[in-house]
Structure 1
Amino acid sequence: MTDSRPVPSGTDADGGVKAVLHWYLRRSRQTLRWKLEGLTERQLRMPMTPTGTNLLGVLKHVASVEVGYFTECMGRPTSIEVPWFADDAEPNEDMYATAEESVQWIMELADRCAAEADEAIEALDLDAPGRVPWWSQPDVTLGRLLTHMVDEYARHLGHVDIVRELLDGQAGHTTAHSNLPSGHGADDEQWWMDYTARLRQIAEQF
């Protein structure tokens, strides 16, 4: 399937590439937030895989990773504390919200992280130098980190797509553009039941 929505213009070497990467980053943030809408707090926190993947935790993780890359790793100040990344933090503490961390608090954290990240991205050139001490090749540029964060969101949005579908059957890219097949009955619940049954029948042959 292909995404039929328009892609931002301006991919030449005079700064347009940064605008495009930033556009994809912002779109990924919006898609992630949409995937969390309309669910109960229990659903948002519920681990849905053997390794504990949950929707609210994914938001906490990507937001705090993002602000770290675009502020501290780019030599810029930040007002946001992320103690779940400290050396003495519990393993995987960035991948779930504690009982004391409310849904509203996580949402506001994500907004603050995005705002500081955007401020850095807008202020710096693509070739602005940075450093990620825990990477094997720590010297980076803003362009490298922008590309990395677009990839980071893409990976976790795949997780979120599946988790949301398991929770309540909601699927698709956005409310305005599902990116799922339509026509010939493909927008009908029975069509999908028959489709998955056919795939299951094929798989059972092996």
Structure 2
Amino acid sequence: MKHLLVATGVLLLPTALHAQEPQIKCPGENTVEMRYCAGLSWEQSTDQLKRKIPKALLQQWQEATQAVPGIQSGQEKVCSVKERIRSMTKKSWYERFSKIAAKTSGRSGTFTVACGVVGLWLLSGPLFDYSDTWQLAINTATTIITFLMVFLIQHTQNRDAEAVQIKLDELIRATKGAHNALLNLEELTEQQQDYFRDKYEALALEAQKSLLLGKSDTDSPELSA
């Protein structure tokens, strides 16, 4: 059992440590990647310009641009954007390991392996005369695995829940007529949440009455004060 735990850790840890960062494909999928691609285009155009104009004129141009504050070269822009992308996409080893462990533990193959380990443990009972050591082996192994998996899975669930909240906040922010007061609803007190819930329950009752009267319930009524 000890060798099985060590082998599992050896298989999962290198995968988490050596996970590759996502590749950037121009023109980019978000603002940061678009800035990175724009910096690359600036650098390429600058290189082409350096090949075409005379060296004396190029030196004069470089001196003029360096004398003006706030002007940043294409290479500097690319480097700064790269650093920002790395800081946004780089994850710690614990985040990568917890994500891989959560995905792996939820697969059918992992469940089959766990059932196989339990089956081998049951078959080995007669060899150890069903001794206390035989029982202690499975109890210790399952306790340690369960204890560690609680933290790994909870970490993954917290990140997923926060991501869902951010996406919902973005939908509220981008939807015309939505109430921005609901953006941090999960941070409000229980009394404040009850207040909003009562308002929406009242809207639901009004919609049900409209349906009974043969009216539509697909409008967007405002919340009453």
- Structure with the greater relative contact order (CA < 8 A, sep ≥ 6): 1 or 2? 1
Question: Which one has a larger percent helix, Structure 1 or Structure 2?
Answer: 2
* TM-score between the two structures when normalised by the length of structure 1: 0.28
Q: Rg bigger for which structure?
A: 2
* TM-score between the two structures when normalised by the length of structure 2: 0.26
